[in-house]
Chains A and B, each alone.
Chain A
Amino acid sequence: MSAAETAQDKASARNGWLLSTPALIILTLFAVGPLLIVLVYSFLVPGKYGNIEWAFSLEGWRGILFTKDIFTEQYQLADANVTIFWRSIKLSLLTTILTFAVGFPTAWFIATRPPKARALWLFLITIPFWTNLLIRTYAINEVIRNEGLLNTLLLNLGLINEPIQILYTDTAVFIGMAYVYLPLMVLPLFAAIDRFDMRLLEAGYDLYASRWNVLRRIILPITKPGIIAGSILVFVPSLGAYVTPRVLGGGKQMMIGNFIELQFGQGRNWPLGSALSLMLLIIVTGALLIYVRYANGDSRHG
């Protein structure tokens, strides 16, 4: 490489950095930087009226799982916290499974339409995706509340005698999350199925494979990157959900997101809230790393 070329590369790299600097400053100040403050806060002592006191402590992190007995001063498993974590994980997994079960046929349907119709069906999936999450959550509320569409319908059909209480239960949060996050499952599944070579199905059927075997042995393995991408895109926001459990869970069916908020409000335990936030961030980052690994595998095959 000539000296001129090296100098040109250097200038190009410098320009790249310079042009990116304004964006990097904003992100450092208002997205990445504050995470470091939270890291510091998680090792401090809670103040009496919220905020913190400047003294080192591991109580914040310990408080994620354990609580101190007021009388014996001994640590024991915090049942309330475990219940919230378990609910978060359970509902997020169920949401992922349900959105996959109904999202896969939907993505398949869209991908097998003629090109023009395909764009329209895809657009129909995208509209809810970009619609305000709060509005969609409220829309579900309209359907499932006691005087809502579902109960009215069942009452009029004579299938039930009194409204089923769905709102403010785990089921309501589950239905709501599946509803709001479904497009996040369908879109990557569609991308994977769209690339799928349908001739492989002919080959499968020619070799006397049953429909079930074609699905299980050909379609699912080949669209696996899309399945993983969709699952993570649904699981991650479900785990950190705040609005949906708040509106549909009525403040009682808390998930991790609401539990974090509680620490900064009535709980007045900012170090615990900080530690919980970082724990959530670590779990999410772990899930995303898996995604990146498989997304890379995807491009190798693609």
Chain B
Amino acid sequence: MADRSFSVAKLPGFTATAIIVFAALYLPIFTLVGYSFNANQSVAVWGGFSLDWYAKAWANTQVKDATVLSLIIAVTAAVIATAVATLAALGTTRRKKFRGETFIYVMINQPLMVPEIVTAVTLLIFFGIIKQATGIQGIGYVILAHAAFCIPFAYLPIRARLEGMDLSLETAATDLYASSWQTFRFVTLPLLLPGVIAGAMLAFVISLDDVVITEFVKSGGQDTLPTYMLGQMRRQMTPEINAVSTMLLVLTVVLLTAFFFLTRKNDQ
């Protein structure tokens, strides 16, 4: 087998480049994860394997508070975003194109088109005005900001799922004297569910990942995990930040794998 057969799709150097790219993509992540098990005080020098930094992160009340707050925000924002995105997807698919449909579509996808820093600044100003006028404080501002930019991420998988469903089952249900609510509850919603779950998971991950908008919108003492980490990166860094990153990383990978299988079933 010295002489490999000539393959048309093979281009010189492409495979080697791709392998290097994959290595370059994962090497930094593995380094980060590796140093989270470093027994040493500094992130720089390897001092043997240890789980101390996980214990330290676990015991750190700031990390704990930030994690709890991140989860509260992500769950609430994902639920709000998914609920309104499901309705909007039902309103903009499987019906005759109507006046303003494109407008609705552009509005829903608007958060994908505006740079995050611009949204962050505009919300900083807007919420500043509201806070001054009403005196209302609280975490609600961050949640609403997250809900808004999560809407397109929830909307797109739900819409994709709906477009793959034809109306025949719903028509059959109506023919069998199901009310429109019954049709929705017992036919449409169960069929749509994988799309809704996928959308909710994407919205959750997107909310959990957000740094920029949260950094600008949050008030004092409202640090989420990413904004807490951003703050730490200015100071003396210890492998604790690696441990926190690794835990967040694992959560993301678990959710993504679940998402991957959910949407794959969708195709079959």
**Please, how many angstroms separate the alpha-carbon atoms of A184 and B111 in the complex?**
17
- Chain B residues with CB under 8 Å of A240's CB are 115-118
Which residue of the partner chain A has the closest CB to B111?
A31
Whole-angstrom distance between the Cβ of A245 and the nearest chain B Cβ: 11
Partner of B249, one of A18, A135, A149: A135
- Nearest B residue to A147 by beta-carbon distance? B44
User: Which A residues are in CB contact (< 8 Å) with B128?
Assistant: 51
Q: For the complex, would chain B's binding face be called helix, strand, loop or mixed by DSSP majority?
A: helix
- Is there a chain B Cβ closer than 8 Å to A105's Cβ? yes
Smallest CB gap from A35: residue in B: B122
Asked if B18 CB lies within 8 Å of chain A CBs, one says yes
* Contact in complex: B24, A16 (CB < 8 Å): no
Range of interface residues on A (Cβ < 8 Å): 35 or more
Contact of B100 among A17, A22, A140 (CB under 8 A): A17
Give the shortest distance, in Å, between B206 (CB) and chain A (any CB): 9
Chain A contact surface mostly: helix
Task: Provide the residues of chain A in CB contact with B35, threshold 8 Å.
Answer: 142
CA–CA, A44 and B17, complex, Å: 52
Kindly state whether residue B148 has any CB partner on chain A within 8 Å. yes
- 1/0 per position for A136-163, CB-CB distance to B under 8 A? 1011111101011100000000000000
B125 and A37 form a contact (CB under 8 A): yes
The answer to whether B31 and A149 touch across the interface, beta carbons within 8 angstroms, is: yes
Partner of A37, one of B92, B126, B242: B126
Interface residues of A in 182-219 (CB under 8 A from B): 182, 198, 201-202, 205, 211, 215
B248 interface residue, CB < 8 Å from A?
yes
A131: Cβ under 8 A from any B Cβ: yes
Residues of the A chain whose Cβ atoms lie less than 8 Å from the Cβ of B85: 23
Task: Kindly name the residue among A34, A41, A288 whose own CB sees the greatest number of chain B CB atoms within 10 A.
Answer: A34
Residues of A close to B177: CB separation below 8 A: none
Q: Are the C-beta atoms of B249 and A128 separated by less than 8 Å?
A: no
Q: CA of A108 to CA of B123 in the docked complex: distance in angstroms?
A: 41
Pair B8/A277 contact, Cβ less than 8 Å: no
A56 at the interface (CB under 8 A from B): no
B119 at the A/B interface (Cβ < 8 Å)?
Answer: yes
Asked whether, in the complex, the Cβ of A139 is within 8 Å of the Cβ of B111, the reply is: no
The reply to whether B114 and A31 contact each other, CB–CB distance below 8 Å, is yes
Q: Considering the complex of A and B, which 6 residue pairs feature the smallest CB-CB distances, nearest first? A: A19-B91, A240-B115, A13-B98, A109-B18, A147-B44, A139-B28
User: What are 7 A-B contacts with C-beta separation under 8 Å?
Assistant: A17-B104, A22-B84, A23-B88, A24-B104, A27-B108, A102-B21, A182-B21
Residues in A lying within 8 Å of B, measured CB to CB: 9, 12-13, 15-20, 22-24, 26-35, 37-38, 41, 51, 102-103, 105-106, 108-110, 112, 121, 123-128, 130-136, 138-143, 145, 147-149, 179, 182, 198, 201-202, 205, 211, 215, 236-237, 239-240, 242-243, 246-247, 256-257, 260-261, 264, 270, 273-274, 277-278, 280-281, 284-285, 288
